[in-house]
Amino acid sequence: EAQVTQNPRYLITVTGKKLTVTCSQNMNHEYMSWYRQDPGLGLRQIYYSMNVEVTDKGDVPEGYKVSRKEKRNFPLILESPSPNQTSLYFCASRDPGQGYNEQFFGPGTRLTVL
Amino acid sequence: SQKIEQNSEALNIQEGKTATLTCNYTNYSPAYLQWYRQDPGRGPVFLLLIRENEKEKRKERLKVTFDTTLKQSLFHITASQPADSATYLCALALNSNYQLIWGAGTKLIIKP
């Protein structure tokens, strides 16, 4: 089954404790992206990657890091989480093609930073 | 400033009627526009895409229109069903880099 998986699905942590949210896709997509979703604000892009070893900042990259060492994986790293990073996070992938293609989303990770 | 606006208030529709959701944007020249459905606690799921040179797109009970003069897209669900209840998101893609810019979504409630 074609899918994007994320782990963990739920995470409660404390300020300053480094964490990693994993994302993996089995569709051989070159393009992957991380979003955060907050009430009333819609999806905001954190980072994206057009291919292996190529990453770029989105609209809200501060406080986040990513890496793309393999095509299928795109982990999101919070080196020193803060309460304002409490949010619902989604990983997505797509076949870039002409850029028109649909994005496939993971199930989401609900992060709470105390 | 650049904005994408969707109705922030929930839309309540009687089952069987047509639901119409609006996506308005300012100061963008999108290459295309996509509509997604999102159920509570789940990731968005792609529904339809419409390009800048297309006026209308249909898929089963769904219809999307795109008016680049009005800077507006309308999303219609005909013969609505309670199972259509969800939040619907619109997303614009600009020519420059095809990154999607998202609206905040409209919650649709179909009452039996």
Residues of A with CB under 8 A from a CB of B: 4, 35, 40-45, 48, 58, 90, 92, 96, 99-100, 102-108, 110
Cβ–Cβ under 8 Å, residues A100 and B51: yes
* pLDDT 10s digits, B30-61: 888 999 999 998 999 999 999 888 989 999 99
pLDDT band at residue A97 using 50, 70 and 90 as cut-offs: low
At residue B1, the pLDDT reads 58
Question: For chain A, how long is the longest CA-to-CA vector?
Answer: 42
Task: Write the CB contacts of B17 (distance below 8 Å, at least 6 apart in sequence).
Answer: B80
Indicate if the pLDDT at residue A99 is higher than 60. Answer: no
At residue B98, the pLDDT reads 64
CB atoms within 10 A of CB A97: 10
At residue A26, the pLDDT reads 96
Q: What is the DSSP string of B50-74?
A: EETT-SEEEETTEEEEEETTTTEEE
At residue A96, the pLDDT reads 72
Chosen from A36, A43, A45 to mutate, greatest number of chain B CBs within 10 A: A43
* pLDDT 10s digits, A8-41: 999 999 999 999 999 999 999 999 999 999 988 8
Question: Which of B41, B99, B102 lies closest to A42 in CB terms?
Answer: B102
CB atoms within 10 A of CB A69: 9
Indicate if the pLDDT at residue B95 is higher than 80. Answer: no
Contact call for A108 and B49, based on CB within 8 A:
no
Percent of chain B with pLDDT over 90: 72
Indicate if the pLDDT at residue A98 is higher than 60. Answer: no
Question: For chain B, how long is the longest CA-to-CA vector?
Answer: 44
pLDDT band at residue A2 using 50, 70 and 90 as cut-offs: confident
Mean pLDDT of A93-97: 82
At residue A100, the pLDDT reads 67
Distance CA B26, CA B109 (A): 27
Distance CA B56, CA B88 (A): 18
> How many Å separate Cα A83 from the centre of its chain?
18
Q: What are phi and psi of A47, to 5 degrees?
A: -145, 160
pLDDT band at residue A46 using 50, 70 and 90 as cut-offs: very high
At residue B8, the pLDDT reads 79
Indicate if the pLDDT at residue A112 is higher than 60. Answer: yes
User: Shortest Cα distance from A43 to chain B (angstroms)?
Assistant: 6
* Mean model confidence pLDDT for chain A: 94
Pairing of strands B11-14, B106-111: parallel
Q: Please write down the HEC assignment for all residues of B7-30.
A: CCCCEEEECCCCEEEEEEEECCCE
Mean pLDDT of A63-67: 97
**Chain B residue with Cα closest to A40:** B104
Radius of gyration over alpha carbons of chain B, in Å? 13
Distance CA B3, CA B25 (A): 6
* pLDDT 10s digits, B76-93: 999 999 999 999 999 998
